[in-house]
Amino acid sequence: MTELELKFCVPDTALASLRAALLAQGARRVRLRAHYFDTACGALAGARIALRLRLEGRRWVQTLKAAGDGAVHRLEHEVPLPGSSRERPALDPTRHEGTAAGAQLAAALQAAADPQLLEQHATDIWRLHCQLYDADGSCIEAALDTGHVLAAGRSAPIVEFELEHKGGPVQGLFTLAQAFVHHGGLWQSTLTKAERGLRLRLAEDPPRPSKAGAPQLAADADGAALMRALLQSALEQVLANASEMRPDADVVEVVHQLRVGLRRVRVLLRELAPLAPAIDASWVPVLSHTFSLLGEQRDHVAVVAAVRPLLLAAGAPLLEWQPPVAADPVAAVRAPDFQSTLLALQALAHADGAAYAALSHKAVRELVAARLHKLHRLVLRAGARFEQLPVEEQHRARKQLKRLRYLADFTAPLWPRRAWQRCRRRLAAAQDALGLHQDVAVAAEAFPQEAANDPRAWFAAGWLQAHQAATARAAAAALVRLKGVPVFWR
């Protein structure tokens, strides 16, 4: 059995109206008391597996959840258990044998140094739930959970809203979710109750950045399979990092990884648009705006980190300038327009074949090769005259290089591995060289403005202005070296 479920955090201002909306649809209230199990070393958590015994009203259910396709799709297997509600039954992992989720559980336990399963944390939840239907026949279970997670003698509140697809067209799940986002300002979170319990037990809850994972892509993928897998991979990184955004926490690295994920999504929408005619042009401005808002503070931190060692070595009396007044990154991520756009992208990632172009594997390779060839040609052309280009065009060349590298990474399984790895190393080196040059250019522009407040900034301004010639020369050389690498897509 699989589960396609969206989970949302609920602001205090929306709780009463959300509860009233569910009651108006005939929602019923039930108490859910769950006990979560794992090995002492956290083997299940490390494999993104949750195993629990839960008292649902008066009946016990043993449930196993494991990773599926994408951030909101999971494998699930439930086993109702006989007996009295007053006596908790024994946990038995063999109840899930013969299922896809059970295979993941068995593999995780086999790899664990000590496979013994122990209770790690618990939840005590009151759930208000009902089933909702739309005109197209979609059936969605809506549930408002309020209660606590309990671990190691500590307790933390839980207020979550869940929408789970039960039947009919999948699009209905995401359309309904968009309506709730705009109605109450809810924002999506992929953080599960099991993960909340683990963090509470460890008494550690710093924001946890998530790097990009490899797409689950077959070597003979057609157009629909390719685009669906790439979208799910990119969105998984976006959603994981967006879920970690919260006030009064150090989210610098989370913001960086979130922007990487957004850049990957934008590259897909731009370079592989022919694979998905259902792409909505209105998504791109929203993603670009949020990307820019998130970059205001992150760019300052990254540029300062890059140029500080250079200025320190040069003996500059001032090593950085005052940071700009940046937008609130948490508010940017929780904005309804951005949340709604993420839901629309997830709908596309889980859509059937009708949302995609009917391209064979051979046609897909030809399309991707054409896009890679075009970007490669643009990058080489910029490299031949990079030192003479205006700063704006140098920055454009850097963005083209990034698109080339991301698209090459995305589609690597379509090509011979050895040729791809060699080209990838050269692309990474060129991106680093252009990145440093861009950082120096940004800092060289910022320090003269800082000189109005602190005259010591003039030293850095002049030194960086002169140093741009060296970084431009190094960037040009890195781009030229790409010409000597056999391209793997031919």
Over residues 270-290, the pLDDT tens digits come to 999 999 999 999 999 999 999
Percent of residues, the chain, with pLDDT higher than 70: 100
Compute and round to an integer the Cα radius of gyration of the chain. 25
Give 51-102 pLDDT, tens digit per residue.
999 999 999 999 999 988 777 888 999 999 998 888 999 999 999 999 999 9
Q: How confident is the model at residue 439 (pLDDT cuts 50, 70, 90)?
A: very high
**All structural domains of the chain:** 2-205 (2.40.320.10), 252-484 (1.40.20.10)
Q: How confident is the model at residue 265 (pLDDT cuts 50, 70, 90)?
A: very high
Pick the range with the lowest mean pLDDT from 75-84, 375-384, 411-420.
Answer: 411-420
- The single-letter code of the amino acid at 27 is A
Placement of tokens 């070393």 in the chain? 41
DSSP-based three-state secondary structure for 214: coil
CA angle 86, 63, 11 (to 5 degrees): 90
Task: Measure Cα distances from 201 to 121, 125, 149, 155 in Å.
Answer: 7, 18, 10, 9
pLDDT for the residue numbered 389: 95
Average pLDDT value for residue range 247-262: 91
The structure tokens listed for 467 are 């140093």
User: CA–CA separation, 343 vs 188, rounded Å?
Assistant: 9
- The single-letter code of the amino acid at 22 is L
Cβ contacts of residue 8 below 8 Å, gap of 6+?
160, 161, 162, 163, 177, 180, 181, 186, 187, 188, 189
Whether residue 229 contacts residue 70, with contact meaning beta carbons closer than 8 Å, is answered with: no
Task: Measure Cα distances from 339 to 139, 231, 288, 293 in Å.
Answer: 22, 16, 13, 15
pLDDT > 80? residue 418: no
Identify the residue with better confidence: 74 or 127.
127
Task: Measure Cα distances from 168 to 76, 133, 145, 293 in Å.
Answer: 19, 9, 24, 37
Q: How confident is the model at residue 393 (pLDDT cuts 50, 70, 90)?
A: very high
Q: What is the DSSP letter of 371?
A: H
pLDDT for the residue numbered 300: 84
- The single-letter code of the amino acid at 465 is Q
User: CA–CA separation, 101 vs 473, rounded Å?
Assistant: 54
Average pLDDT value for residue range 180-187: 91
Burial class (CB in 10 A: 0-12, 13-18, 19+), 477: middle
- For the entire predicted model, the pTM comes to 0.92
Whether residue 73 contacts residue 347, with contact meaning beta carbons closer than 8 Å, is answered with: no
- The single-letter code of the amino acid at 246 is R
The structure tokens listed for 476 are 């040009």
Selection from 273, 219, 223 nearest residue 413 by Cα:
219
Give 214-229 pLDDT, tens digit per residue.
888 888 889 999 999 9
DSSP-based three-state secondary structure for 170: coil
pLDDT for the residue numbered 91: 95
User: CA–CA separation, 197 vs 51, rounded Å?
Assistant: 12
Identify the residue with better confidence: 2 or 385.
385
Cβ contacts of residue 409 below 8 Å, gap of 6+?
424
pLDDT for the residue numbered 365: 92
pLDDT > 90? residue 432: yes
CA angle 65, 132, 229 (to 5 degrees): 45
Cβ contacts of residue 471 below 8 Å, gap of 6+?
433, 436, 437, 440
Average pLDDT value for residue range 204-220: 85
Backbone phi and psi for residue 288, each to the nearest 5 degrees, phi listed first? -65, -40
User: CA–CA separation, 228 vs 226, rounded Å?
Assistant: 6
DSSP-based three-state secondary structure for 102: helix
- Quickly count: other Cβ atoms within 10 Å of residue 170's Cβ: 16
pLDDT > 90? residue 150: yes
Whether residue 420 contacts residue 214, with contact meaning beta carbons closer than 8 Å, is answered with: no
Selection from 143, 189, 137 nearest residue 164 by Cα:
143
pLDDT for the residue numbered 1: 64
pLDDT for the residue numbered 80: 95
Identify the residue with better confidence: 485 or 155.
155
Note the Cα 193 to chain centre separation in Å.
Answer: 19
- Average pLDDT of the chain is 92
**Exposure class string for 198-218: b at 16+ Cβ within 10 A, else e:** bbbbeeeeebbbbebeebebe
Torsion of CA 264, 268, 270, 276, to 10 degrees: -160
Identify the residue with better confidence: 408 or 128.
128
Average pLDDT value for residue range 347-375: 93
